[in-house]
């Protein structure tokens, strides 16, 4: 769970000193609420205005932006020590968190921790199973483009993205969230 990932990050650098970004906030009650009071500051992005009221209620100390996260990542001037990406498998015009890369690197402080939700077992993910074969193919093709090959090691895929964008990867960890999704966390230091 996210609590374990945050605990592991805190062992390496105090999260109480970090400015954090939740890229896909929804209502803030799935995971963000579990670390919101542990960080120095929290900015939360959410595209759906229907979630805004509960998002603000659940995370009263956060800066909430109702915005397209895929566009906001390209324009925000803010830098963060912790970036958490808990994305949907499919969003309007996007698959997974893939279109956030390489833009996510521009919002990282010189030393930062990146946490992404990964769909490691699509066949166990209920939404995926309900898709038609064409959409499944599109998703698998996008995964191949992002990771380099369908079943490439997660560490090496994100390591390569980091290196290509001026960051040295350090510590990393993963933690299963459920039967189909895991959190992957990585420490990144600007080189």
DSSP, collapsed to helix, strand or coil, labels residue 169 as strand
Of the two residues 131 and 13, the one the predictor is more confident about is 13
pLDDT at position 151 over 60: no
- Opening angle at CA 118, ends 156 and 59, nearest 5: 125
CATH superfamily of 2-190: Vaccinia Virus protein VP39 (3.40.50.150)
- Model confidence band, residue 149 (pLDDT cutoffs 50, 70, 90): low
What order of strands is seen across the sheet that includes strand 80-85? 63-66, 41-46, 19-22, 80-85, 108-119, 181-190, 167-176
Whether 128 and 136 have beta carbons less than 8 Å apart is answered as yes
Say if residue 99's pLDDT is above 60.
Answer: yes
| Rounded CA separation 122/144 (Å) | 14
Cα dihedral 22/76/12/101 (nearest 10): 80
């Amino acid at each position: 769970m996210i609590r374990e990932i945050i605990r592991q990050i805190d062992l390496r650098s105090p999260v109480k000193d970090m400015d954090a970004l939740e890229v896909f906030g929804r209502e803030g009650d799935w995971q963000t609420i579990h670390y919101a009071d542990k960080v120095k500051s929290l900015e939360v992005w959410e595209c759906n205005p229907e979630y805004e009221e509960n998002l603000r209620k659940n995370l009263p100390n956060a800066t909430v932006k109702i915005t397209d996260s895929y566009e906001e990542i390209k324009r925000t001037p803010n830098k963060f020590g912790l970036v958490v990406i808990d994305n949907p498998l499919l969003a309007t015009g996007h698959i997974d968190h893939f279109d956030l890369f390489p833009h996510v690197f521009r919002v990282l402080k010189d030393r930062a921790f990146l946490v992404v939700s990964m769909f490691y077992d699509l066949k166990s993910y209920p939404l995926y199973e309900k898709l038609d074969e064409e959409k499944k193919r599109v998703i698998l093709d996008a995964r191949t483009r992002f990771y380099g090959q369908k079943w490439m090691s997660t560490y090496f895929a994100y390591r390569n993205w980091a290196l290509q964008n001026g960051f040295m990867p350090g510590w990393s960890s993963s933690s299963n969230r459920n039967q189909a999704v895991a959190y992957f966390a990585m420490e990144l230091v600007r080189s």
